[in-house]
Structure 1
Amino acid sequence: MGGQQLTNRDSPFGLKVLKALSRVQLHQSRGLFSAYESTLMYRLSCASFIELIQSTRMKSLILLSVLVHGALSFVYLEKLSHMKLPSKITPSVQYQMFGGAAEEAAYDKQRRMLYVVGEESRLLHVMDLSDPKNPTLATTHQFTSSDGTPRDVAICGDEVAVAVTSGIKDVYEGHVYFFNAFTGGSPGLTPDGKLPAGYFPDMLTFTSDCKKLLVANEGRPGKDINNVFTDPVGSITIIERDRNGGPPSERTVSFTGQDQRFDLRFPIRYIPQNLWPIKVTPTFEEDATPEYITVTPDNKYAYIILQKNNAVARISLGTYEITSVTPIPKKDWSSYTIDPSDRDGGVHLRQFPLKSIRQPDNAKVITIGRNNFLVTADEGLTTSFTSAHDGFVWSDHSLADILARQNKFDTVVINNDTFVEDLKMDNKAGRLMLSTIDGLNLFTGKMDEATHFGGRGFSIWKTSDMSLVFDSGDEIEKELANSMKTVFNTDCIRNTITYQGPENLRDTQSDDYGPKIGSLDYINDNGAQYIVVGSETTGTIFLYSVNTTSGTPKPQFETAYRTGDTDYVWSELYDMGTAGDAGLSAVGFIGRDDNALNKTLIYVIGQYSGSVSLFQIVTM
């Protein structure tokens, strides 16, 4: 097996043939598929579908369905290639799991090169994708320890930009390194200067006209070179470079003026004064953590994801001012199912009256007519300070059963004795990681609701009022439960790879972030619109088609794919080249006009496996 619940190594996953036959109700009196059956058919793998139509009974039904309804079509993913990248290039080339060889990527559609940045390795790889079925490593650039750690890469036109943190310590200002775009036959990347950025630059993106480069400076706290705790401010750096040789301009956009916003999530405000090492009142500017930037297609606005703060900021790229900072509404789980426990004996999706803060890690803008919509990958993020890293101990989370046994919940407000008891039981909701500050009533000192981290899926928001227009709900976790049960909410843990594998780590992430959806991309490829999201913990991508005829984006789940084997420990899988994309950290589309196959492609980055996989979308 090359992937859990797949019919063969390189086919997309779907329901097994026998399971499909047991669930499909054939309406022989009409001789047609029901709406449910038609929906089921596109979820079947290509191989399974072929097996089905070879059945005489099914063949006639499908033929009749085609005659009455027209062409029967479905969407699936075809794996094109999988490549491990080196984690060291000097003094010799070395490959290592958890070697930090790959984390983020950017595609050069003009030259058909994929830039992949590795943090721990300090490497910038350039892959030649002129033949997506047989990619090659064109060149690799090594950053030095004094340069800093590369965190992200972006390309526009002839310019490549890399966000690099400080070479001294993470609490100091970083830089953006520039390179000329690589062309085949060149000896290596040609540097084109560097410019200062803010504290801990973690992500960057160009406007579509390549005139502006926006950098998200996360401002991570920690100790400085004098071993003194500091909490640098989060900010956005906007760089404009004159390609004709003129001096560049830089602007810093700060998150000031938000300190009295009690509707915004502000974790450090809850740290007791006797613990907080800085003897001044914490500010929102310090706590703001810009994680991701996405720009509207007309380049008028940039939307900034403040992940820890569970908020979205909007910046006008005409005035360079923050026009709004909007809290993201909580997710209500009362109508969805969730597996909240890693100690319930396996896969058990249940309903609980939970809430969760979505805390996206990634976002993209969809424009329909005059309206913009923001698609968010709702990963979740806890906040912790440790003695070794920060000099004190505090966190914004705890296990549900600890909170329940300490009588931290207001049972009168919650008004659900069964749920309160479930919060004490490990095989129910007691293992779930809950917030200790969201839902906290400062007057009573108790929690008015149980609030989890992350949305275990993705959402779509109308940007004019941040109203919710779509939520994937529990669909992704259900798909994993139905078709990838042996790796449901699995994980890959650095210090256990020699004795743990995907199967025996099943369900271990259920109490934390579940499938942990942290990567996302959107494409309108000659009228065909798709969203792809990635599950970091399971290494699975989920493909949705998007219908916009109503004026609002309506995603429809199409298929999912998890590459790699499951029945060995992680280190053995890596050595055999079948670890898949462990620690899936980035996904991206490549338009059909921008590759040799003339198909919509998807690249997938595995940060733990240091790998890049390529897929093509096939419609039948």
Structure 2
Amino acid sequence: MILIGILYIYGCVYVSEAVIGLSSVSSLYMPYDYAKGKGVYDFNRNAVEETAYDVRNKLIYTAGSRYLHIVDVSKPTKPIIIHKHRLTQNVEDIAICGNYFAMIQEHKDFPALDGFLKIFKVYNPTTHSLDRIHTIKGKNDEDINRNPPNEPTKFAGSELPKLPCMPMLPQFTVHREFEYIQYGIRKPYAPSSLSMNLEPESIAFNNDETKLYVTLQENNAVLTIDMATKTLESVFSLGAKQWANLRLDASSGDGGTKMRKYPIYSLYQPDGLAYFENNGEGYVITANEGADVELDQGGVTFHESERASTMAERNMFSKQISPDLLKSLGNNRQLGQLEISQIDGLDEQGKIKTVFFYGGRGFSIWRASDMHQVYDSGDEVALKHKQYFNSIFNADSTTRSPTNNRPTDLKDVRSDNKGVECESIVMGEAQGKRLIFIAIDRVSTIMVYSLPAGSTKPVFESIFRGGRLDKTFQELYKNMEMGDLRPSDMMFLDAKDSPNNSPMLMVTGRASGTISLYHVGNVINNSSSRLKADTTTWTLVLHIWVVMLAIGVLRV
């Protein structure tokens, strides 16, 4: 049974002098399961995790933990689920190339064992089916010390059709391990080889698809592959970010938003990345989320991070650390709660002489030819959230008490972890501007920047957060006012690819279980539609509550 209803979708856009922002077109809440043919709905149930867009047929493919759904967005204000496919394994990623659809799945019983790459023809609306044409079995092992290298995989075998858009990549193995480690490539788990430690996260091609850029998040590196010669070209260490002159809130127990300067460092460790060019020069822009390694498989238990105060209690800091910094590291209202690395910055005795934590709490731009940094956002991402979304500053989007907690009740709880976690990043053009969209994971906001012609210094445009903040999580989900919690995946649709011939941003809310479409354009200043959702300095902030009427398919 299909229920069609009228839904008020709330969103909050904060704007400074710029005008480019997001306005809601539709938001579809996805079922995570089915019972007697009817969708079963709830949040934090992995209803959606990965999405892909079929430009030709205006279809969204979205994979959760139990189902792959296909959503028709040819009428973007009325998205409708037209197909569901039961999954027996967790999906790691999906993609569409021409007439083919592919997904990577874990082993159904144990993620450390063999996974699969499955290739299908795109959805057939006549037969209402996905026809699988090939399956490639991965190689893995329960023993972390015997795992084969994580690598881009070469498609091979005479039975595999020649697929358009799918590059043939070489097997990837690092031979000069010592050289790479000396250069700064991290190897978190020492007993394994460096090649086994490498963890590809996200990819981006240059404009003519002759080079592929891959983030190695846990390794704090980016590698490049030459697509013409099918060879690894370079592996670049991204180095560390210095915080001595930047402000940082590193404690969830300091009673609020308390940003201070500390002589410590962080590892950039980007997740998402994008490529662009200025005057023929290539650049890579990265969302520096951060990630520490935790292993618990095959009899191996390894955790590379620890609270700073715990390290202080264990006398794990070198005498080279100043008394003032040591005091802050033992104080839970300053640095004591911060999760820091136990394996980086060590002296000859194995004690920490330089403090490193995880994630750049922002985004950076690097020259693609040598990964020289030409821009970093510093502490601006956190400061903008403090200014415009202080009530959910460094908040989490999940709670053990959804019937009692509101989003504002979780303020500051992620300060001691990765703070403002810039997870995914995409670029596009609208209103004559080159735009950057950055999804902030736990706070569940999307930042919009513009990049002036010929420049590598982004200009802040706006921050958007879908949904409301003034009700409990349970009430927000029931009323479909939750927004895109944990926006894990984004895709920019330019006017020629968009279903309504105007630029749009597609956002996947992993925790909310939503797929949302947003119009990208000028933000309308309508003072009559303001609703107070935050406490800020109104002389500095133009506060707009965008309340839109959308008619859509809400249940299947």
Against the structure 1 CA distance between its residues 324 and 490, is the aligned structure 2 distance closer, same or farther, given a 3 Å change threshold? Answer: same
Aligned-partner Cα distance in 1 for 2:401–2:271:
26
Corresponding residue for 1:85? 30
**Matching residue within 92, 95, 113 for 1:154:** 95
Corresponding residue for 1:592? 495
TM-score between both structures, scaled by the size of structure 2: 0.86
Higher relative contact order (CA 8 A, sep 6+): 2
Q: Which amino acid aligns with 1:373?
A: Y
CA-to-aligned-CA distance 1:153-202 (integer Å, 9 cap, x gap) = 1112221111122234222332222222236x434332131231535xxx
Where do residues 114-513 of structure 1 align in structure 2 (5 Å cutoff)? 114-118=60-64, 120-121=65-66, 123-143=67-87, 145=88, 148-182=89-123, 185-199=125-139, 223=142, 231-239=147-155, 252-260=170-178, 261-262=180-181, 263-269=184-190, 282-386=192-296, 389-412=297-320, 414=321, 416-441=322-347, 443-493=348-398, 495-513=400-418
Q: Report the 3-state secondary structure (helix = DSSP H, G, I; strand = E; otherwise coil) of the residue aligned with 1:253.
A: coil
Against the structure 1 CA distance between its residues 285 and 480, is the aligned structure 2 distance closer, same or farther, given a 3 Å change threshold? Answer: same
Corresponding residue for 1:568? 471
Kept after mapping to 2: 8 A contact 1:98/1:494 = no
| Equivalenced residues, count | 510
Q: Which amino acid aligns with 2:513?
A: G
Kept after mapping to 1: 8 A contact 2:345/2:355 = yes
Q: Which amino acid aligns with 1:189?
A: S
Aligned-partner Cα distance in 1 for 2:71–2:316:
53
Q: Which amino acid aligns with 2:73?
A: L
Q: Percent identity?
A: 27
**Matching residue within 3, 16, 20 for 1:75:** 20
Query: How far apart are residue 252 of structure 1 and its match?
Result: 4.7
Q: Structure 1 unaligned runs (5+)?
A: 1-7, 16-39, 43-73, 200-218, 270-280
TM-score between both structures, scaled by the size of structure 1: 0.77
Give 1 or 2 for the bigger CA radius of gyration: 1
Corresponding residue for 1:45? none
Against the structure 1 CA distance between its residues 242 and 530, is the aligned structure 2 distance closer, same or farther, given a 3 Å change threshold? Answer: farther
Against the structure 1 CA distance between its residues 241 and 566, is the aligned structure 2 distance closer, same or farther, given a 3 Å change threshold? Answer: farther
Q: Which amino acid aligns with 2:129?
A: L
Against the structure 1 CA distance between its residues 170 and 453, is the aligned structure 2 distance closer, same or farther, given a 3 Å change threshold? Answer: same
1:13 equivalent in alignment to 2:10 = no
Quick check: which one's helix share is greater?
Answer: 1
Q: Which amino acid aligns with 1:167?
A: K
Aligned-partner Cα distance in 2 for 1:187–1:385:
44
Corresponding residue for 1:41? 17
Q: Report the 3-state secondary structure (helix = DSSP H, G, I; strand = E; otherwise coil) of the residue aligned with 1:182.
A: coil
Q: Report the 3-state secondary structure (helix = DSSP H, G, I; strand = E; otherwise coil) of the residue aligned with 1:13.
A: strand
Corresponding residue for 2:550? none
Q: Report the 3-state secondary structure (helix = DSSP H, G, I; strand = E; otherwise coil) of the residue aligned with 2:196.
A: helix
CA-to-aligned-CA distance 1:359-391 (integer Å, 9 cap, x gap) = 1111111123432111111110111234xx443
Query: How far apart are residue 407 of structure 1 and its match?
Result: 3.1
Q: Which amino acid aligns with 1:104?
A: E
Query: How far apart are residue 256 of structure 1 and its match?
Result: 2.3
Q: Which amino acid aligns with 2:123?
A: F
1:105 equivalent in alignment to 2:51 = yes
CA-to-aligned-CA distance 1:276-334 (integer Å, 9 cap, x gap) = xxxxx521111111111211121111111111111111111122211111111111112
Q: Which amino acid aligns with 2:92?
A: R
Aligned-partner Cα distance in 1 for 2:481–2:306:
36
Q: Which amino acid aligns with 2:385?
A: L
Against the structure 1 CA distance between its residues 255 and 570, is the aligned structure 2 distance closer, same or farther, given a 3 Å change threshold? Answer: farther
Aligned-partner Cα distance in 2 for 1:331–1:117:
35
Corresponding residue for 1:25? none
Aligned-partner Cα distance in 2 for 1:487–1:134:
31
Aligned-partner Cα distance in 2 for 1:527–1:173:
47
Corresponding residue for 2:506? 603
Q: Which amino acid aligns with 1:239?
A: F
Aligned-partner Cα distance in 2 for 1:301–1:323:
9
Kept after mapping to 2: 8 A contact 1:240/1:249 = no
Where do residues 52-63 of structure 1 align in structure 2 (5 Å cutoff)? none
Q: Which amino acid aligns with 1:430?
A: G
Query: How far apart are residue 518 of structure 1 and its match?
Result: 0.8
Where do residues 551-562 of structure 1 align in structure 2 (5 Å cutoff)? 552-562=455-465
CA-to-aligned-CA distance 1:219-253 (integer Å, 9 cap, x gap) = 7x7x47xxx97544211113379999569996552
Against the structure 1 CA distance between its residues 195 and 96, is the aligned structure 2 distance closer, same or farther, given a 3 Å change threshold? Answer: same
Kept after mapping to 1: 8 A contact 2:20/2:448 = no
Aligned-partner Cα distance in 2 for 1:237–1:521:
24
